[in-house]
Structure 1
Amino acid sequence: MTGNSAYSYRSDPAVPAFADDHPIIVFDGECIFCSGWVNFVLRHDRQGRFRFITAQSPLGEALYRHYGLDSRNYETNLLIEDGLAHQKFDGTLRMAARLGFPYNLAGVLKIIPPPLRDPLYDLVAKNRYRIAGRRDACFVPQPEHRSRFIA
């Protein structure tokens, strides 16, 4: 992964400026599985900490490219927290931890060795459309959540 220093995207001219004062989840807006995760986070993020960006947006694509990821095949969500990008299993566990009890209990999954965690995540990610399907159009947030989405 490139750009692994805090806030490295701020000095990348290809990444448009954006508000990064909250943790941000960049997700595949066409994936029903990924959109379901975002809806789950929206329901359980009682303090409204997270902001969201679809990977298909110009900013989402720029962030994927910045971190050396394929900007057309979104096989991981990105969590950008304190200017650092976390992806795959680690990113998901960090998101769950921010949701508080009981979701932070997912942290026990860190006992799974890293060489096994990411391949497990990759298996689900590569099959996500088969598992849950794909939207014809990108995710559109409910009106009460629109302020939490960054264009």
Structure 2
Amino acid sequence: MCNFCDSSVQFIIKNDQAAYFQFASIQSEAGKALLVEYKIPENIDSVILIEQGKAYFESTAALKICRKLDGLWPVCYVFIFLPLFIRNTVYRIVAKNRYRLFGRKKVCLMPTPVQRKRFL
């Protein structure tokens, strides 16, 4: 329902030609199973990256995702050196206001057959 979340997934798919990333909604059965498997707290309402057996949240997840994308996006990983409280404060401000800033979708777009393979 979130335009920002949907746009972020579409952006990652477009800029991840190696198809490194797979996706699951937190509300889906696969998403719920991953939350349990990786002992992710239920109050996490953020992008979650599971990589090499470890779960990352908020700005750390976003920056680690950038690091694997095509083009110049890996340069953004330099922000990992900012203190976590600063990075996550900015992340939380955007996340808290995402519906107001980016709107909501009334209907979710169905992924193409190629994109569908990337969803758990």
Same fold (TM over 0.5): yes
RMSD between aligned alpha carbons?
Answer: 1.8
Higher helix share: 2
Aligned equivalent of 2:4: 33
Distance 1:133 1:125 in 2: 12
Alignment counterpart, residue 84 of structure 2, candidates 88, 105, 114 = 114
Q: Is the 8 Å Cα contact of residues 77 and 88 (structure 1) preserved in structure 2?
A: yes
Alignment counterpart, residue 68 of structure 1, candidates 41, 44, 58 = 41
For structure 2, the 5+ residue unaligned runs are none
C-alpha deviation, 1:62, in angstroms? 4.1
User: 3-state SS of the aligned residue for 1:90?
Assistant: helix
Q: Is the 8 Å Cα contact of residues 17 and 70 (structure 2) preserved in structure 1?
A: no
The alignment-based identity, stated in percent, is: 33
Q: Is the 8 Å Cα contact of residues 35 and 41 (structure 2) preserved in structure 1?
A: yes
Q: Is the 8 Å Cα contact of residues 75 and 122 (structure 1) preserved in structure 2?
A: no
Give the number of equivalent residue pairs. Answer: 118
Q: Map 1:56-135; keep pairs closer than 5 Å.
A: 56-64=27-35, 66-70=39-43, 75-135=45-105
Q: Which has the higher contact order (CA 8 A, sep 6+)?
A: 2
User: 3-state SS of the aligned residue for 1:148?
Assistant: coil
Distance 2:79 2:61 in 1: 12
